[in-house]
Structure 1
Amino acid sequence: MTIELGWTSRSKRRRGGPRARPLAATLAAFASASPGCGDDGSSTGDTMTASATATATTTASATGTSGSSGDSDSASGGDSTGASSTDTTSSESTSTSTTTTTGDETSSSSTTGAPIDPRYEALVAYAPRVWLDEDEVYFPSSVEFAFPHMTRFADGNGDHWIRSTEPLESPSDTLPFFAGDLDGAPVYAFYADKGMDVVDLVYFFWYPYNRGKEVVDTIWGNHVGDWEHITVRLLRGPDDTLSPSQVYLSAHSFGGIYEWADVERHAETHPVVYSAWGSHGVWDSPGDHVYMSIGEEKLGVCITLVCADLTDETSEGIAWDTWENVAGFDYFAQEGLEGESWPVWMSDDFKAPGADPVDVPGGGAIFRWGNTEDCSTLGVDISDLIGVCRLEDGPTGPVSKDVWGAELK
């Protein structure tokens, strides 16, 4: 790999992975090999397989205008926090009137006749439609899908992480389980009653892998494990009904707030969001979203090793209707809803060894959900020169996110 001092990229480069191809070809490729990238961006020959959802919606009309914001632990993201609202008009919703749900009414299951917890009803009612990019190959899954391929270990501070059991041969190496399992992927949904008539519904998406961005023929900002989320804020009115007010979208390490009336929606109550190819940052519209610039320029001249814009690309590829598979929980009660158990991995006692065997991911708390960073290039650490490693530390999990306080995040 050759890096030229002062190299600048301002033209849009295609993603650090398989090239663009029609959706039909992407779906057909799930059952076949999919290349990763080696140290120089070349194919490693690793194979990847994924289970494509048979019920996914794959067609829709393009919508409205851009307006971008987002929040996660992806180290390839920026450090700023911003808020914006958009003028996006839903192509599927003909009304911007506020919909309401109550916090006290109960209905019955169509299969068992037993009452459905109203907290779970709210989580299902406002669960988002996530448009996965048309070229996506690193899909969401359940955490249980990834756990058999990962090992729990303690770092130098005694905090427990998980990492891929099979080592990565290079910072851009890929493993088969990184492809995920869309058919079995739940949304991890948390009902958080924050008092003062505020209820936040926090929806977490787990992906076994985050693909970084291509700069100078090398992929930067990869990390094993990826947590993204959105939050729907409900406000309780004088008649005790809960009405949607705002939505928070996360992308990398920043995010933004959107008014409910400005959010594209499906069937009136489901926010429609767009997941970026490979990195899975959540955006409000399809298209290209520059979220970070690396390096430093003066008078239009790059004065650092590399200067480049990092861009998330989103499109209407496969519609992941998350309300079809909701793993629901009450955060403050620390209990599962509708048959779920409170996850062991939602503990923040990261130094506790957990159940035997302690190296099994499902047996204890998890501080970071992926391999440790690798910032070397040809054996030299140049991360300080460009601000990002080729392989970043795995992200922290939902329990560590800054979403449980009074502020909407």
Structure 2
Amino acid sequence: MMRRIAIGFLLFFLVGSHGALAKTSSVKSSSSKEPQQLIETYAPRLIFDQSENYYPLSVDNSFMYLEREMRDGQYSLRTIEKLKSTNSKLSFFKGDLSASKVYAYYIKRSDKVVDIVYWIFYPYNEGKKVFWYTIGNHVGDWEHVTVRLTDQVPTHVYFSAHSGGESMSWKDTPKTQDTHPVAYVARGSHGMYKNKGKHVYGFSLGRLIDVVDYTSDGVIWNIWEKNGLSTFTSMDNGQTYSPSPSWMRRDFSSTIEGKNEKDPTGGAINRWGNASQGTCFGSECELNSGPTGPSAKDSIMRNSPDNPVN
């Protein structure tokens, strides 16, 4: 995820009680619904930009091109093939929707509240042009959409966009087929938005230059179709999950016994891409370090069911 090239960001707070929103929802509650049924019912439709060059790819398929390395005391990923420059493009960076997965986390926050977090992995994030530099390229990219349920009725949706995002009430969320939120995916950087168009999300060089995402009507991906979902369930507010693959572990400094430390399945992964390289402007470089993964994000590690969707 390209970190915001910004000083400050917009924070969207949820307003109104869950109960009041639940009464206005057109979706009927059923106490007998299983997690998998709810995950499929509220899975989003993703609409990519017409000029998108870097699509998702499943974690397993991406691992063929990546290896673990110890970096700053924690294991992270890097490309097996060395990058010749900060703007190098390897063939697998393009991704492949036919070989992609969405990682759906069903997280029970309390007796009433459940968050379903739909995570998408991309092999590459394309940065932004700032004068004669391209800033913020990075290997690996994670973005997500969260649907919050109260008593199994949807109340809010959160669209992630880099280090921020937007929370919306369910009734105001664009949907298809009544239950599937629609998210527009920004060209190259993959931030999620409720509508197509131009989205200013940050500033660079002392707020002199807008940092902008663009979305439009391109390829449509209904992620609930064609076995595109991998499901992880937590009944203890994200402390443990079933199943729990090695890359979801949180001990970033160890390797599973019997595994090669370079094997991407050999243990937890802190950063999902190469270390930063090139000219840097503050915290932003021509090639940024890869992002942290779902196991390190607030949407997984949140401790209070009363906090806004994230």
Confirm or deny a common fold (TM above 0.5): yes
Q: 1:346 aligns with which of 239, 245, 248?
A: 248
Map residues 187-266 of structure 1 onto 2, 5 A cutoff: 187-236=102-151, 242-266=152-176
* SS of equivalent residue, structure 2 residue 63: helix
Q: Which residue of 1 aligns with 2:266?
A: 363
Q: Deviations over 1:304-356 (max 9, x none)?
A: xxx421100001101111111111110346444xxxx4221111010112251
Amino acid at match of 1:74: M
Q: Secondary structure at the match of 1:256?
A: strand
**Shift in CA distance, 75/375, structure 1 to aligned 2, threshold 3 Å:** farther
**Secondary structure of the residue that 2:51 maps to in structure 1?**
coil
2:173, 2:273 → 1: CA distance? 32
Equivalent residue, structure 1, for 2:219: 318
Shift of 1:74: 2.5
Report Cα offsets for 1:209-244 as digits up to 9, x if no partner. 0000112132110110000011100001xxxxx100
Alpha-carbon separation, structure 1, partners of 2:155 and 2:5: 27
Aligned mates of 1:163, 1:253 — CA distance in 2:
22
1:82 aligns with 2:11: yes
Partner amino acid, structure 2, of 1:343: P
**2:53 equivalent among 134, 137, 148:** 137
Query: For residues 105-120 of structure 1, what are the structure 2 equivalents within 5 Å?
Result: 105=33, 118-120=34-36
**Corresponding residue of 2:299:** 403
Once the two structures are TM-superposed, the CA of residue 173 in structure 1 deviates from its matched residue by 1.1
Equivalent in the alignment of 2:281: 383
Contact 1:76 1:221 in 2 (8 A): no
Match of 1:49 in 2: none
> How many corresponding residue pairs?
289
Alpha-carbon distance, 1:139 to partner: 0.3
Aligned with residue 275 of structure 1, among 167, 176, 185: 185
Amino acid across the alignment from 1:133? D
User: How do 1:146-157 residues align onto structure 2 when only pairs under 5 Å count?
Assistant: 146-157=62-73
Q: TM-score, normalised by structure 2?
A: 0.88
Instruction: Provide closer, same or farther for how the CA distance between residues 77 and 204 of structure 1 changes in structure 2, counting only shifts above 3 A.
Output: farther
Aligned AA (2:50): E
Q: Distance in 2 between matches of 1:181 and 1:363?
A: 24
Aligned to 2:21: none
Whole-angstrom CA distance in 1 between matches of 2:203 and 2:44: 29
- Alpha-carbon RMSD: 1.8
For 1:223 and 1:292, locate their aligned partners in 2 and report how far apart those are by CA, in whole Å: 18
Q: The residue matched to 2:117 in structure 1 has which SS?
A: strand
**Which has more radius of gyration?**
1
- Once the two structures are TM-superposed, the CA of residue 196 in structure 1 deviates from its matched residue by 4.3
* Structure 2 unaligned residues grouped into runs of 5+: 15-23
Would you tell me which structure has more strand in proportion to its own residues?
2
Residue 224 of structure 2 aligns to a residue whose secondary structure is: helix
List structure 1 runs of 4+ shifted beyond 6 angstroms: none
SS of residue in 2 equivalent to 1:362: coil
Contact 2:200–2:210 (CA under 8 A) maintained in structure 1: yes
Asked if the contact 2:126/2:136 (under 8 Å) is kept, the reply is yes
Q: How far apart are the structure 2 equivalents of 1:187 and 1:328?
A: 8
Q: Match for 1:136: what amino acid?
A: E
Code of the aligned partner of 1:342: S
Q: In the alignment, does 2:69 pair up with 1:167?
A: no
Task: Work out which of the residue numbers 198, 207, 211 in structure 2 matches 1:288.
Answer: 198
Matched, 1:328 2:226: no
Report the counterpart of residue 40 of structure 1 in structure 2.
none
Residue type at the aligned position of 2:252: F
1: CA distance, partners of 2:190 / 2:96: 15
Give identity over the alignment, percent: 38
8 Å CA contact 1:346, 1:399 repeated in 2 = yes
Structure 1 pair 347–81 and aligned structure 2 pair: CA distance change class (3 A): farther
Alignment correspondent of 1:99: 27
Counterpart of 1:349, as a letter, is D
Do the aligned residues in 2 keep the contact of 1:76 with 1:212 (CA within 8 Å)?
A: no
* TM-score normalised per structure 1: 0.68
Work out whether residues 187 and 326 of structure 1, in 8 Å CA contact, stay in contact via their aligned partners in 2.
yes
SS in 2 for 1:323: coil
